[in-house]
Structure 1
Amino acid sequence: MPALLSRTLDPLLGIFTGVFAYYLAENHPRTGFAPEERLRPLVQWKWAQYRVRRNQQLESLEANVDWTGLSPEEGKR
């Protein structure tokens, strides 16, 4: 039974320790990151880049479709 307990608690303890260490490193006044270098603004910036690239890709794919070849019945599906 103790082996089973350590198999489940060790990964959870590792994840908790990592998240807590990152939280302390990001929010400590002496070693903290600048506001624009914190995780949330970086993720928002990366997500905005992804959306721009995705929209450009979808627009280019849509521009290559010949919509005149479809019959009215096919468009209703």
Structure 2
Amino acid sequence: MSRVLLSKTLDPVLGVFTGVFAYYLYENNPRTAPPQEDRLVELLRWKWAKRGRDEGSRSAQDETVDWQAIVQEASKKE
């Protein structure tokens, strides 16, 4: 079993904080910063917009269902 550095609950919190802080420094350091369009916030906005478009197209496809054809097909099977 590995030893704990500070405490069993504080070690994971310290690890998450260190990771988030390191990523913040990576994105904001002038020498290592990625282009504006490749930053995490921009990529998340793109993904959310894509999800919204996909859900919109799915709902539009669901609205164009020919219910009369479905009812006729179901009545044929009876």
Say whether the fold is shared (TM-score over 0.5). Answer: yes
Q: Residue type of the partner of 1:26? A: E
Identify the residue that residue 30 of structure 1 maps to in structure 2.
31
3-state secondary structure, aligned to 2:33? coil
Identify the residue that residue 56 of structure 1 maps to in structure 2.
57
CA distance in 2, matches of 1:43, 1:21: 19
Q: Residue type of the partner of 1:28? A: N
Q: Number of paired residues?
A: 64
| Larger helix share, 1 or 2 | 1
Sequence identity, in percent?
48
Moved segments of 4+, more than 4 Å: none
Identify the residue that residue 9 of structure 2 maps to in structure 1.
8
Give the RMSD, CA atoms, in angstroms.
1.8
Q: Residue type of the partner of 1:25? A: Y
Q: Residue type of the partner of 1:45? A: W
CA distance in 2, matches of 1:8, 1:61: 48
3-state secondary structure, aligned to 2:9? helix
Higher deviation after alignment, 38-47 or 58-67: 58-67
Structure 1: tracts of 5 or more residues without a match: 68-77
Structure 2: tracts of 5 or more residues without a match: 69-78
